[in-house]
Amino acid sequence: MDRMSGQKNQNLIDIDKIYKMLFNEQKYVIEFAEASIQSFSEFSDHYSKYLLDKDMENLRRAGHKIKPVVQMLEIDELLDEYEKAKEMLIDGRPKKELEISIHKIQVICDQAISEFQQIINNLK
């Protein structure tokens, strides 16, 4: 089911694209998936903390760290929400709106982590 609309969704992670990028080497795909799990976990935790703390500097650091992977994987909804969060901080939006954004990011990151774990499980 789609995270937001309740409709059937597609995977966030395009495994074929990852294989092509990593020269069809299974061990590289596993390493990439493991590193991605760590990256998405860290980003989700940091996003939540820094957004609620209204810590723009560290929020940007967290975003810059995950951005290359997210762009490569074309997870536009994560990038869009991250950009929106920076605007919310600038605008001084209420905590409830920040919490909604945190939930959206957590759902996206959890799905990415789950898909990468499934990739690893299928290859080991």
pLDDT given at position 10: 85
User: Is residue 7 pLDDT above 50, yes or no?
Assistant: no
Of the pLDDT bands very low, low, confident and very high (cuts 50, 70, 90), residue 9 is low
Residue identified by tokens 């898909």 is 115
pLDDT given at position 81: 98
| Pair 14, 52: CB distance under 8 Å | no
**Alpha-carbon span 117 to 124, nearest angstrom:** 11
**Alpha-carbon span 122 to 98, nearest angstrom:** 36
* 70-81 CB burial, b ≥16 within 10 A, e <16: beebebebbeeb
**Alpha-carbon span 54 to 56, nearest angstrom:** 6
pLDDT given at position 2: 39
- pLDDT 10s digits, 46-86: 999 999 999 999 999 999 999 999 999 999 999 999 999 99
| Pair 85, 47: CB distance under 8 Å | yes
- pLDDT 10s digits, 27-46: 999 999 999 999 999 999 99
**Alpha-carbon span 119 to 124, nearest angstrom:** 9
User: Is residue 23 pLDDT above 90, yes or no?
Assistant: yes
Of the pLDDT bands very low, low, confident and very high (cuts 50, 70, 90), residue 24 is very high
* Domains defined along the chain, listed by start: 15-123 (1.20.120)
Q: Work out the angle at residue 39's Cα, subtended by the Cα atoms of residues 94 and 83, and round it to the nearest 5 degrees.
A: 35
Of the pLDDT bands very low, low, confident and very high (cuts 50, 70, 90), residue 1 is very low
